Amino acid sequence: MSLIFDVLRDNRTFALVGVSQNREKYGYEVFEALIAKGYEVYPINPKYDEVDGRRCYPSRDDLPEKPDVVVTAVPPAVTEKVIQSCTRLGVDTVWMPPGSWSEQAVRTCEAQGIEEIHDVCLVFALRSVREQPSEA
């Protein structure tokens, strides 16, 4: 849990691959949860120009800045391709929720020195992790 807390505490920008405009889809739920907690979120999905008034990017290569964390809300085979681009772009952390990760994706992250969280629901983590009191 400490890695999860560290990632949520120490990072401000998240790119969400597989965002959806459908409020019932996981890709939208993650988008909404991150925004509600005050993170900068870059939605990525080539199907959309925007999601809830925010510009939606067709790929990670089109983002205005390198995100701190890339979150995948796509099938495992797509996640594996996303990780390849994360390596190229120098992304340090990838979060692969349940249904989005594979053993190959985890191995690729480890081999490339990318910090990874897999099989942990980001929405649940955001609800579960409470703010730590500031140090006096």
What are the pLDDT digits (tens) for 65-118?
999 999 999 999 999 999 999 988 899 999 999 999 999 999 999 999 999 999
Q: Which residues pair with 40 in a beta bridge?
A: 13
Q: ∠ CA(95), CA(9), CA(53), 5° rounding?
A: 65
Structural contact between residues 43 and 57, judged by C-beta atoms closer than 8 angstroms: yes
Q: What is the pLDDT of residues 32-46, one digit of tens each?
A: 999 999 999 999 999
CA distance 78 to 108: 13
Range of the domain at 6: 2-128
Domain assignment present for residue 136? The answer is no
Domain assignment present for residue 79? The answer is yes
Number of domains in the chain: 1
List the one residue out of 78, 109, 79 whose CA is nearest residue 93.
Answer: 109
Domain assignment present for residue 133? The answer is no
CATH number of the structural domain spanning residue 71 = 3.40.50.720
Domain assignment present for residue 34? The answer is yes
Domain assignment present for residue 134? The answer is no
Domain assignment present for residue 135? The answer is no
Domain assignment present for residue 30? The answer is yes
CA distance 103 to 110: 11
Amino acid at 14: F
